[in-house]
Amino acid sequence: MSEYLAPLKEMRFAMQELAGLDQVVSLPGCEEATPDVVDAILEEAARFAGEVLSPLNRVGDRDGAKWKDTVVTTSAGFKEAYRQFVDNGWNGLGCDPEFGGQGLPKLLSTAVSEMWKASNHAFSLCPMLTQGAIEALMIAGTDEQKAAYLPNLVSGEWTGTMNLTEPSAGSDLAAVRSRAEPVGDGTYRVFGQKIFITYGEHDMADNIVHLVLARTPNAPEGVKGISLFVVPKFLLKADGTPGERNDVYCVSIEHKLGIHGSPTAVLAFGDHGGAIGTLVGEENRGLEYMFIMMNAARFNVGLEGLGDAERAYQRAVVYARERVQGTEVGVRGGPKVPIIKHPDVRRMLLSMRARIEAMRALAYVTAAAQDNAHGNPDDVAREKARAFADLLIPVVKGWSTESAIDIASLGVQVHGGMGYIEETGAAQHLRDARITAIYEGTTAIQANDLIGRKIAREKGATVMAVIADMRSAASQLDGDLAAIGARQNAAVDALEKAVSWIVANFSTDPKAAHAGAVPFLHLFGIVAGGWQMGRAAVIARGKIAAGETDPFWVAKLATTRFYADHFLTQAAGLAESVVAGAAGALELADDSF
């Protein structure tokens, strides 16, 4: 069975040429990210992903995490790999140097994260959740909480979780019933049960820092009455090291379709007198703080979709090159050939590859925007970058994960009947990818956020500025790229039509707008991906004209043309689904389903 190989040439191209790595590393605080440092990090991350994490991916899927008497044991090799991960400093790559991090750009940590997710999706979830906890404490934690928890979270010695979901409160966080009772000295006793807690219990770290949503006694009902608490697995001794066990225990782990190596815990808080916790920030602002974690997690789940898709593609390509079956179309009496020669297999592989390139480009460009939103010294540029990143994060999450499911399914199809057999590994990528469109907010939640908070609320200002940039980029697709340019212009027209309809109708007919929200998210993702692919084609044409002979540039033109012909052509139909699709969706009576 083949192992993951990081596509470093593609990654470097997306970072440098599309996301603007040189500009990002010129930002204040990013000076350490010299070309030599960036290259060394990418090369070493690729080695670690391919040699350490990838071989454990199948082990985690086959054996899974195990629960017994509140104790969770991870799959063989996970604990040792995590120890190497921490010792090599990977956990603190993009974290604040004040707490032991390396302070490197989001763009670089995004490329590295893609490697973790592609090589071992289940393993990567543990450091991902820890990063979310770090971000929440950095922004909302007290000085005491930062000093107590951040150094060990940044190093990875301790891990973090976010505890939102309850048995009776899934995506509707207004229904959260966990409670926190003050006991003096700024501490609380937390009671309740949380479900679907990724790495809520495991054996890879000395402590687990739970960030928990709960209600204080006099809290108002609804989302305005939710507070956020730090509840560690082990209470801290005076010297800051883990001491007495806190009253939070794993009462079971879920049996899931995929990501078996990642324990998804049911946690009971306070069954033996109350779990001790401290308030993060101000009372009743917990949901606001938790969204800090969730927004970071949503972007990273989009990277999971990208990683799963890349791994499925790599496995499909290896199989298509090795599997000999049938004669080549149009060659009468010819020899048996590898299936990569067959037109439909080539179509499937290009369908996978072209979308992966578009997904990666869009994610990396969004990561660079996050770097600028955080560190650009120009106020106008910083605000523009923030608005762009906020607009694109639900697209990166929703479109990338939905695409990954289809791409992983195509990976199974390329394998034919062998894809349905577990030993080839193709099925695992489909099973693992399926959760990505659900957790950290389903695709509909991403789409509703996109059309509501990110577009209708500001009357489309940011998205129309992006559309203007798309048109400007499409104008460069001339000459031998004119066919791609025509597709791009038509797709942008479709996107603008849908945006205008949403802005005009969101307030007066919200049900109709929400009925078309997911089609709109797909439309936006496809067109935004095409925008980046078009930019790539212009760059590739310039390289070829300058005399460069690397087949990489010819391949870039081919994947861009394929994307334009097979995906940008979907834009007009999706736009019609947005502006006219509500009637059928809303007309049928409930009892007729």
pLDDT > 70? residue 487: yes
CB atoms within 10 A of CB 63: 17
**The two three-digit tokens of residue 35, written as one number:** 């070309």
pLDDT per residue as tens digits for the range 3-52: 999 999 999 999 999 999 999 999 999 988 999 999 999 999 999 999 99
Q: Is 440 a catalytic residue?
A: yes
Residues with Cβ < 8 Å from 212, sequence gap 6 or more? Answer: 163, 178, 190, 194, 228, 229, 230, 231, 269, 277
Catalytic residue among 135, 304, 440, 496: 440
pLDDT per residue as tens digits for the range 108-152: 999 999 999 999 999 999 999 999 999 999 999 999 999 999 999
What are the phi and psi torsion angles at 533 (to 5°)? -65, -40
pLDDT per residue as tens digits for the range 218-257: 999 888 899 999 999 999 999 999 999 999 999 999 999 9
Q: Give the model's pLDDT for residue 169.
A: 64
Q: Hey, what's the torsion of the CAs at 460, 465, 469, 475, to 10 degrees? A: 80
Q: Is the pTM of this model over 0.75?
A: yes
Residue 17 one-letter amino acid: E
Q: Give the model's pLDDT for residue 173.
A: 63
pLDDT > 80? residue 397: yes
Residue 321 one-letter amino acid: R
